[in-house]
């Protein structure tokens, strides 16, 4: 089995791998190696769900767990402060035990830096992992780089283990520098003069200086936007002008994190000191808060409330600065909108809603129609899961290159239904379908569709059949014959 994303295999099972199927292959290429290969779409949701589950599981062992961005299946995990809990070895064992719930040959390495830890996972190997070397052996699939030993550990390793610019990777061996240690031994100034900042980044990593760190649950950042006015204003209009984009930006960030604003605080910096303060006192601030009835993730209603509040705010001095903040947030939740209210056209809210639907009903529950460039009517449209970035259809037609298509039937069956047909002299005369006998007045055709000879051919002769006028309105049917059977593709009614 293999998982595919953007027309390329992204992950393959070990069985498929044994037959030569590799990640990065196209489907045709992979099938050429294994005709029975089962290919499934890469499911971001499923992967994200499993990463979340694994992350949660790792949290049993350490409070600092960060899935590595862009590398599903890899985590940075904090290993500080475990001396009283059996030390790093115990932590590594625990992590390995957890990880192997997902993969039987999962590897764990502990080091001062992420770069060394990742390099050490390769050194640790699989079941036959080496536990010797500079680090303390911890068992198969585990490796512990001694504290302070990152640079020394990395020094003999090949440069391939170090993330760096491709050009630099090509040049270093030509200079005779083949190990991470050789790069680390260079003067930073010399490195910068030749490869600039990217070179310096690589050089720092070669010395075990890795800024990446596993983190605790991300502390909520202060959500505020401060704006200083070039000249003090005496009316609220310029303030409203500033508040809207600030609020929009803050809400966008919030929604991305799946949260909504429970309150909005607007702080105005007033230019003139009030009389109660000393004459040389500096400008002061006044803050007021808006609290919607329930947390909101949409700009329009929230800004409307802010506008009302600001318009009712009597200024006592010119305003020279505005701060918009969201001091309280809550998880984003669905809310009933109005179809007719344009303010409700809120992509963020839609996203949030669809996310919830997917979460509740499964990833395939939310779909959208998509046109496909196919000759067979039932394949000219499909439902695709929303969010799958597939290409739009190119409707270039073989005849004239126009972007037109036409409906072959008003009601198109997704799966053509078998039908019994009585033939007249040259064309169908009667249909027996869904328990009805439909006498035909006229049948025009055949229209021939054949193709896909390279993967599972089809061969159809279509007839457009017109029901004989009877008691009711005459129906029009699109039927076809394929191999020995007749099928209804659709109808007009």
Partner 1 sequence: MVRAGVVRLKYVELHCHSAFSLLDGASSPEALVERAQALGHPALALTDHDDLGGIVRFAGAAELAGIGGIIGAELTVRAPDGPAPNHLVLLAETAEGYGNIATLITRGRMDSPRGQPGVSLDTVARHARGLYALTGCPRGWVPSLVAAGDLDGACEATAALRDIFEGRVAIECWDHHLPEEREVVRGLLRIARALDMPWAVTNDVHYATPPGRIVHDVLSAIRHERTLDEMGTRLRPNGEWYLKSAAQMRRRWQHAPEGIRATLEIAERCAFRLGDLRPTLPGFPLPSGVTADEYLARLVEQGAHERWGNAPTEAHARQLAHELGLIAKLGLAGFFLIVWDIVRFARREGVLCQGRGSAANSAVCYCLGITAIDPVKMGLLFERFLTEERKEAPDIDLDFAHRDREKVLQYVYERYGREHAAMVCEQISYRGRSAVRDAARVLGFSVEQANALSLLADRFSARATAERLGGEGGDRGEGIGERDEGRGTRDEDAAAGGSAADAGAECALAERALAERALADALSSRMIHGTEAMTRTIEEKDAARRDGGIPRKATAREKGGPGADGPMPTPASPVAAALGSHLGGGTNPSEPDDRAVPHTPRPATQPSAPRSSPLPALGLDPADPRVRALTSIVQGLHDIPRHRSIHVGGFVLTAQPLSTIVPIEPASMADRTVIQWEKDDLDPIGLVKIDLLGLGMLTVLQDCLKYVRQTRGVTIDLAQLEMTDQAVYDDLCRADTIGLFQVESRAQMNTLPRLKPRCFYDLVVEVALIRPGPIQGEMVHPYLRRRAGEEEVTYPHPTLEPILRRTLGVPLFQEQGMQVAITAAGFTPGEADALRRAMGHKRSHERMAAICERLIEGMRRNGIPEETGRRIYNQINAFADYGFPESHAASFALIVYASAWLRHYYTPEFTAAILNAQPMGFYAPGTLIEDARRHGVEVRPVDLTKSEWDCTLEERRSSPRPNQNASSNAPGVQRAPAVRLGVRMIRGLGTRAKENLERALTGGPFTSIGDVVRRIGFDRRALRSLAEAGALDAFAAGEPDLRRRRAALWEVLEEVRGEAGPLAPARAAVRPPPVPAMAPAELTEADYRMTGVSLNGHPMRHLRPMLAPNGVLSAREVARTPDGARIAVAGLVICRQRPGTAKGFVFLTLEDETGLVNIVVTPKRFERQALLLTTSPLLLVRGVLEVEGRVRNLKGEQFRELMAGAGEEWAPGHDFH
Q: Which residues bind partner 1 (CB under 8 A)?
A: 19-20, 25-29, 31-36, 167, 171, 174-177, 185-187, 189-190, 192-196, 372-375, 393-401, 405-406, 423, 426-428, 445-451, 453-457, 459-461, 463-464, 481-484
Please state the closest distance from residue 19 (CB atom) to partner 1, in A: 8
Q: Which is nearer to partner 1, 187 or 220 (CB)?
A: 187
Q: Which is nearer to partner 1, 280 or 399 (CB)?
A: 399
Q: Which is nearer to partner 1, 58 or 195 (CB)?
A: 195
Please state the closest distance from residue 297 (CB atom) to partner 1, in A: 40
Please state the closest distance from residue 443 (CB atom) to partner 1, in A: 8
Using the CB atoms, write b or e for 472-483: b if 16+ within 10 Å.
eeebbbbbbbee
Please state the closest distance from residue 392 (CB atom) to partner 1, in A: 12
Q: Which is nearer to partner 1, 229 or 449 (CB)?
A: 449
Please state the closest distance from residue 158 (CB atom) to partner 1, in A: 16
Please state the closest distance from residue 445 (CB atom) to partner 1, in A: 7
Please state the closest distance from residue 171 (CB atom) to partner 1, in A: 7
Q: Which is nearer to partner 1, 270 or 419 (CB)?
A: 419
Phi–psi pair at 26, nearest 5 degrees: -80, 165
Q: Which is nearer to partner 1, 16 or 145 (CB)?
A: 16
Q: Which is nearer to partner 1, 234 or 405 (CB)?
A: 405
Q: Which is nearer to partner 1, 133 or 445 (CB)?
A: 445
- The Cα-based distances of 102 to 58, 108, 130 in angstroms read 12, 13, 22
Q: Which is nearer to partner 1, 355 or 373 (CB)?
A: 373
Please state the closest distance from residue 376 (CB atom) to partner 1, in A: 9
Q: Which is nearer to partner 1, 311 or 452 (CB)?
A: 452
Please state the closest distance from residue 259 (CB atom) to partner 1, in A: 42
Please state the closest distance from residue 37 (CB atom) to partner 1, in A: 9
What is the token pair recorded at 16? Answer: 């498929």
Using the CB atoms, write b or e for 29-51: b if 16+ within 10 Å.
ebbeebeebebeebbeeebeeeb
Sequence-distant (6+) residues with CB within 8 A of 287 are 265, 266, 267, 268, 323
**CB 305, CB 294: distance < 8 Å:** no
Q: Which is nearer to partner 1, 50 or 374 (CB)?
A: 374
Q: Which is nearer to partner 1, 213 or 448 (CB)?
A: 448
3-class secondary structure for the chain?
CEEEECCEEEEECHHHHHCCCCCCCEHHHHHHHCCCCCEEECCHHHHHHHHHHHHHHHCCCCCCEEECCCCCCCEEECCCCCHHHCHHHHHHHHHHHHHCCCCCCCCEEECCCHHHHHHHHHHHCCCCCCCCCCCEECCCCEEECCCCCHHHHHCCCEHHHCCCCHHHHHHHHHCCCCEHHHHHCCCHHHHHHHHHHHHHHHHHHHCCCCCCCCCCCCCCCCCEEEEEEEEEECCCHHHHHHHHHHHHHHHHHHHHCCEEEEEEEEEEEECCCCCCCCCCCCCEEEEEEECCCCCECCHHHHHHHHHHHHHCCCCCCCEEEEEEEEEEEEECCCCCCCCCCHHHCCHHHHHHHHHHHHHHHCHHHCEEEEECCCCCHHHCEEEEECCCCCCCCCCCCCCCCCCCCCCCCCEEEEEEEECEEEECCCCEEEEEECCEEEEEEEEEEEEEEEECCCCCCEEEEEEEEEECCCCCCCCEEEEEEECCEEEEEEEEC
Please state the closest distance from residue 408 (CB atom) to partner 1, in A: 8
Please state the closest distance from residue 410 (CB atom) to partner 1, in A: 16
């Amino acid at each position: 089995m293999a998982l595919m994303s953007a027309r390329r295999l992204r992950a393959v099972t070990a069985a498929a791998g044994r037959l030569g199927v590799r990640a990065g292959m196209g489907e045709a290429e992979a099938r050429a190696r294994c005709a029975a290969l089962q290919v499934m779409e890469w499911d971001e949701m499923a992967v994200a769900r499993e990463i979340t589950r694994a992350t949660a599981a790792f949290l049993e062992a350490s409070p600092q767990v960060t899935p590595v961005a862009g590398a599903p299946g890899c985590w940075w995990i904090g290993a500080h402060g475990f001396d009283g809990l059996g030390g790093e070895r115990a932590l590594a064992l625990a992590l390995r035990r957890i990880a192997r719930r997902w993969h039987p040959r999962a590897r764990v390495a502990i080091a001062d830096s992420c770069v060394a830890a990742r390099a050490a996972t390769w050194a640790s190997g699989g079941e036959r992992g080496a536990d010797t070397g500079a680090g303390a052996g911890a068992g198969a699939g585990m490796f512990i780089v001694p504290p302070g030993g990152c640079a020394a550990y990395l020094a003999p390793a090949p440069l391939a283990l170090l993330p760096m610019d491709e050009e630099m990777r090509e040049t270093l061996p030509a200079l005779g520098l083949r190990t991470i240690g050789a790069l680390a031994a260079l003067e930073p100034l010399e490195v910068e003069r030749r490869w600039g900042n990217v070179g310096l980044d690589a050089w720092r990593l070669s010395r075990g200086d890795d800024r990446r760190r596993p983190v605790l649950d991300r502390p909520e950042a202060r959500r505020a936007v401060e704006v200083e006015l070039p000249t003090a204003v005496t009316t609220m209009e310029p303030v409203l002008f500033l508040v809207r984009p600030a609020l929009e930006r803050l809400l966008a960030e919030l929604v991305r994190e799946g949260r909504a604003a429970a309150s909005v605080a607007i702080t105005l910096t007033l230019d003139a000191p009030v009389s109660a303060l000393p004459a040389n006192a500096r400008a002061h601030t006044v803050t007021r808060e808006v609290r919607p009835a329930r947390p909101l993730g949409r700009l329009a209603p929230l800004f409307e409330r802010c506008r009302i509040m600001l318009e009712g705010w009597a200024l006592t001095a010119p305003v020279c600065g505005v701060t918009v903040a969201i001091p309280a947030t809550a998880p984003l939740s669905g809310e009933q909108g109005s179809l007719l209210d344009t303010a409700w056209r809120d992509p963020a809210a839609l996203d949030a809603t669809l996310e919830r639907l997917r979460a509740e009903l499964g990833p395939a529950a939310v779909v959208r129609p998509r046109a496909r460039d196919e000759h067979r009517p039932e394949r000219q449209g499909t439902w695709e899961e929303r969010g799958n970035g597939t290409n739009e259809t190119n409707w270039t037609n073989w005849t004239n290159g126009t972007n037109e298509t036409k409906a072959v039937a008003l009601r198109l069956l997704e799966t053509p239904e078998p039908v019994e047909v009585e033939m007249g002299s040259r064309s169908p005369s009667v249909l027996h379908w869904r328990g009805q006998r439909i006498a035909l007045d006229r049948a025009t055709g055949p229209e021939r569709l054949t193709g896909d000879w390279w993967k599972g051919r089809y061969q159809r002769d279509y007839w457009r059949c017109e029901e004989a006028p009877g008691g009711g309105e005459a129906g029009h049917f699109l039927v076809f014959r394929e191999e020995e059977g007749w099928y209804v593709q659709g109808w007009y009614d």
